Amino acid sequence: RERSFIMIKPDGVQRNLIGKIVGRFEERGFKIIAMKMVHATTEHLEKHYADLKNKPFFPGLIKYMASGPVLAFVIEGLDAVKTGRAMLGATNPLASLPGTIRGDYCLVTGRNICHGSDAVESAEKEIALWFPEGVIEYKDCEAEWVYED
């Protein structure tokens, strides 16, 4: 089973979409193994988005992400990274299909309400950055009905 780091950005929190977004991952069959609400510092967000530090939109991105609390969580399940990204939709919400989170709830790239890790290695880094205390290991009774074995 793979893990991915998912985050509801400040606009998603302010727009009261926490329940709907978390619900999509639960309903799909993913197991949530860590979750917390954080009002992140700019230093922390600069680490999270370090790969983008030379982009012209970087200062605006950090300001947006620091503008309010986010909901950070970790999903675990089959192909969690790629499937998580597919569930979010494209970076630009106008290019996201209806049925995806961005395709259903937002309109512009700079307010695209959610984040998902883009590769297994970035998921590992992001989980370590946001959950240095570790994730919660537990048995979920749904798994035997979600998977064949």
Interface residues toward ligand GTP, by CB under 6 A: 52, 57, 60-61, 91, 109-110, 112, 115-116, 118
For residues 115-134, which are near Mg ion according to CB under 5 A? 118
| Closest distance of CB 147 from ligand GTP, Å | 26
Identify which of residues 41 and 147 has a Cβ nearer to ligand GTP in the complex: 41
The residue whose two tokens read 């307010």 is 111
Radius of gyration of the chain (CA): 15
| Closest distance of CB 14 from Mg ion, Å | 21
| Partner whose footprint covers residue 10, from Mg ion, ligand GTP, none (CB < 5 to 8 Å by kind) | none
| Partner whose footprint covers residue 116, from ligand GTP, Mg ion, none (CB < 5 to 8 Å by kind) | ligand GTP
Residue 115: active-site member: yes
Residue 95's Cα: distance from chain center in Å?
A: 18
Residue 15 assigned to a binding site: no
Residue 100 assigned to a binding site: no
Give the footprint of Mg ion on this chain (CB under 5 A): 118
Binding residues for ATP: 9, 57, 85, 91, 102, 112
What positions carry a catalytic annotation?
115
Binding residues: 9, 57, 85, 91, 102, 112
